[in-house]
Amino acid sequence: MPTARQPRVVDVTTFAEVLDRELRRDPGRPLVTFYDFATGERVELSVVTYANWVAKTASLLVEELDLERGDRLLVDLPAHWLTPVFLGAAWTVGLQVVWDEAAGADAIVCGPPSVAARAAQADGRPVVATALLPLGVRFPEPLPLGVTDYGVEVWGQPDAFAPGDPPRPDDLAVPGMTQGEV
């Protein structure tokens, strides 16, 4: 039994294993809380709700965008509750998350501030845009041709996701850091 002086050693090696452990431990506890002080928006996701958003988003990445373990996802999002959802979904699939265009992304996720600039890149790779509105709803106006509206597509995805090619601890999660290290 660990004491206050001995840290508990956790034998978890991928993001999916960490999330699964948290689901078994206490699925109803708050996991992600987001405050937007400019708008007054507050979103709190329990472990089970976060896991559901991750599963739906992971399915979107694989089934709709044809991404596979080892591909790179450029995350061009501000601080928002959907940012950790996309990180979790990417790592559940086994994608490497990058923030720099120079990393050579296979797909891009962006928000309203950069959707116009990212739309120009939609001819060579998938671009998903999120309106960053409460409950992940769709953009109020049409998006440029070739840009997928997350708020439209995510709701049709299943509530559970099991990758056909599960990530391994040595898969890169971010440049220079593996899933096992994250």
Task: Assess if CATH 3.40.50.980 describes domain 15-160+169-176.
Answer: yes
Residue 12's pLDDT band (cuts 50, 70, 90): low
- Percentage of the residues of the chain whose pLDDT score is greater than 70: 93
For 23-46, what is each residue's pLDDT tens digit? 999 999 999 999 988 888 899 999
Q: Tell me the C-alpha distance between 180 and 154, whole Å.
A: 28
**What's the pTM value of the predicted model, to 2 decimals?**
0.91
- Tell me phi and psi for residue 48, to 5 degrees: -70, -35
For 89-110, what is each residue's pLDDT tens digit? 999 999 999 998 877 899 999 9
Instruction: Name which of 59, 75, 76, 71 is nearest 95 in CA terms.
Output: 71
Exposed e or buried b per residue across 105-135, where buried means at least 16 C-beta atoms within 10 angstroms of its C-beta: bbbbbbbeeebeebbebbeebbbbbbbbbee
3-state secondary structure of 77: coil
Predicted local confidence at residue 6, as pLDDT? 57
Q: Is the pLDDT of residue 169 over 90?
A: yes
Q: Is the pLDDT of residue 5 over 60?
A: no
Q: Taking all residues of the chain, what is their mean pLDDT, rounded to a whole number?
A: 92
Residue with tokens 């106006």: 141
Q: What is the mean pLDDT of residues 146-154?
A: 96
Q: Is the pLDDT of residue 3 over 80?
A: no
